[in-house]
């Protein structure tokens, strides 16, 4: 039965069906064997944690409440932490993004050589970084120093970041 499930999983991966919301049943089991069904359901919110982002996200931002979370699977590593984000004309866009790079001592080349400690870039020039949570930004997500260090230490290029309203 385990071999049959592994073959089905490999077939789904090759066919590109896994992760598309398509459900597939395992081959008919032999009499008396437990029934196994593999489903590739659409990602859902991280149940029971209060985190509004889908499963598999490493960092979650909720713009409407000025909160962010750092996640490891379904486990909350830190959060919710208070944040600030983009002001009028420089809104932080909602969506799903991949971490592109990190720079511990980044200096903005666009906004008056402003320091952006513990920068984790995830949408072009938008990043998590240490900054005042009382001041809105040019699109970045400002974090208190301890949270900025935590996000910097735990996020890696390729990790998924989701920003929700």
DSSP string, 83-104: -B-B-TTSPPPPEEEE--EEEE
User: pLDDT digits over 96-153, tens only?
Assistant: 999 999 999 999 988 889 999 999 999 999 999 999 999 999 999 999 999 999 999 9
> CA-CA distance, 81 to 62, in Å (whole number)?
10
pTM for the model stands at: 0.72
Continuous H helices in 39-163: 145-154
Peptide bond into 80 cis (omega under 30): yes
The domain segmentation of the chain, as residue ranges, is 2-39, 45-164
The CATH number assigned to the domain with range 45-164 reads 2.40.440.10
């Amino acid at each position: 039965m385990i071999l049959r499930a592994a073959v089905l999983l490999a077939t789904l991966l090759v066919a590109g069906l896994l992760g598309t919301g398509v459900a597939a049943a395992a081959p008919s089991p032999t009499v008396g064997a437990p029934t196994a069904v593999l489903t590739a359901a659409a990602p859902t919110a991280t149940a029971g944690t209060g985190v509004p982002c889908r499963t598999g996200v490493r960092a979650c931002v909720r713009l409407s409440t000025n909160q962010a979370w750092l996640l490891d699977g379904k486990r909350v590593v830190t959060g919710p932490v208070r944040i600030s984000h983009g002001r009028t004309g420089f809104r932080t866009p909602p969506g799903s993004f991949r971490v592109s790079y990190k720079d511990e001592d980044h200096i903005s080349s666009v906004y008056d050589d402003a320091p952006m400690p513990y920068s984790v870039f995830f949408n072009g020039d938008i990043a998590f970084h240490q900054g005042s949570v009382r001041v809105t930004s040019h699109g970045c997500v400002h974090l208190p120093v301890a949270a900025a260090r935590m996000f910097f230490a735990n996020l890696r290029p390729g990790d998924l970041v989701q920003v929700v309203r």
